[in-house]
Amino acid sequence: MSVKELDQTYLAPAYARQDVVLTHGEGAELFDDQGGRLIDLGSGIAVNALGVGDQAWVQAVCAQAQLLQHASNYYYTQPQARLAKLLCARSGLKRVFFSNSGAEANECAIKTARKYADDRYGEGHHTIITLENSFHGRTLTTLSATGQAAMHRHFAPFTPGFVHVRANDLKAMRDALAQHACCAVMLELVQGEGGVNVLEKAYVRAVAALAAQMDVLLVVDEVQTGVGRTGTFYAYQQYGILPDIVTGAKGLGGGLPIGATLFGEKTAAVLTPGTHGSTFGGNPICCAGALSIVSRVDETLLEGVCQRHDFIVNELQNAKGVTGITGLGLMLGIGTAKPAADVVRQCLQSGLLVLSAKDKVRLLPPLNIPLELLAEGLDILKEVIAQ
């Protein structure tokens, strides 16, 4: 049987896969099992932050695999401790809990917010306000946090204690905070899966001030926006706020599964022994990979992200069939006259990988994609969108 036949016979049919078998790659170029070459403007959904087969990352991961692949969290290990220090330095937050995915990082944030309020105010202050159209993960609790009714079908009952309000509507947020005994507000600053919608700065600042006033925690989900994706290390650094909790995953491990929940001053001491844990969380190989990525997402690289952003916007803003562009840095949503799903499929046929989010074409290229390759990819995209 072919790979496709094996997959279609033995895997749960949970994914609507694109018609390509990927085998290997280099940087922002991928290859399929027919020898075909593809330009990658998706990075495996913002995961391969510095592209495929990045040599410094490969060496860091292989060196750690030779030393110690796993130890359990009963013991201290070096990569985890060093990565936590680096993330605190880059974020201004104080402590980190490591897990294996974005959903788990958010699950940890939710548990921490609930315990923070329980420690201080006793039972009942458990409501978490999130936004309509948000995406926070696929576990039952992070799905409860997710403000998309379509994803809630089939899976009731949900974890109680989540309220969804309209984005950029300060009155709706103020009313919800007044009506419910809340422990947290949880936001994506750029809604990724929801269609690459950028939250307004004034709104976010007002929400942060309101939450601080009420001792309600501000949780920012940076699972997709983190690690340089939006042009700053974290997106909140463009908003003039300092969250109480920040979650990250996707690009952090450069391709290996890792989640991180960062805690500020108020939340740094909330998790105590026995209240939370993870077998694989903080795995030495994943942390070694993350160290290699995070240490290279520096000012120079971030400037490059902003340059590439400008280049893409310049190329696409007046292109035929483009109806609008949203997003920050290298997280972009392209409105198109034809359906986004058709654009994704036709780009693949022309040797280009792009993603979609709701009704938009979504671009999440490697942060260091060479400009020539980016230009080549955009030429294909423009041609497909114009047809």
- 21-40 binders of ligand PLP (CB under 6 A): none
Least separation, in Å, of the C-beta of 14 and ligand PLP? 13
Please report, in angstroms and rounded to a whole number, the separation of the first and last CA atoms in the chain: 36
User: What are residue 335's phi and psi, to 5 degrees?
Assistant: -75, 135
State whether the Cα torsion 189-336-143-106 is positive or negative.
negative
- 310-369 binders of ligand PLP (CB under 6 A): none
Query: Is residue 221 involved in binding ligand PLP (CB under 6 A)?
Result: yes
- Pick 192 or 243: Cβ nearer ligand PLP: 192
Name the helix (H) or strand (E) containing 173. Answer: helix 170-179
Least separation, in Å, of the C-beta of 222 and ligand PLP? 8
Contacts of 110 by beta carbon, 8 Å cutoff, 6+ apart: 128, 141, 142, 145, 184, 186, 219
Gap between the Cα atoms of 219 and 330, Å rounded? 23
- 146-150 long-range contacts (CB < 8 A, ≥24 apart) are 148/194
- Pick 110 or 344: Cβ nearer ligand PLP: 110
Contacts of 87 by beta carbon, 8 Å cutoff, 6+ apart: 93, 96, 248, 260, 262, 294
Q: Give bridge partners of residue 325 from the DSSP assignment.
A: 334
Least separation, in Å, of the C-beta of 190 and ligand PLP? 9
Query: Is residue 126 involved in binding ligand PLP (CB under 6 A)?
Result: no
Binding residue for ligand PLP (CB under 6 A) from 27, 79, 161, 192? 192
Angle 379-199-98 (CA atoms, 0-180°, nearest 5)?
90
Which segment (36-44, 56-64, 129-137, 345-353) binds ligand PLP by CB under 6 A?
A: 129-137
Asked if residue 157 has a cis previous peptide bond (ω within 30° of 0), the answer is yes
Which segment (100-108, 153-161, 302-310, 343-351) binds ligand PLP by CB under 6 A?
A: 100-108
Query: Is residue 103 involved in binding ligand PLP (CB under 6 A)?
Result: yes
Query: Is residue 107 involved in binding ligand PLP (CB under 6 A)?
Result: no
Least separation, in Å, of the C-beta of 192 and ligand PLP? 4
Binding residue for ligand PLP (CB under 6 A) from 29, 40, 107, 188? 188
- Pick 322 or 340: Cβ nearer ligand PLP: 340
Query: Is residue 198 involved in binding ligand PLP (CB under 6 A)?
Result: no
Gap between the Cα atoms of 36 and 42, Å rounded? 17
- 227-256 binders of ligand PLP (CB under 6 A): 249-250
Residues at the contact surface with ligand PLP, assessed by CB under 6 A? 101-103, 106, 135-137, 188, 192-193, 221, 223-224, 249-250
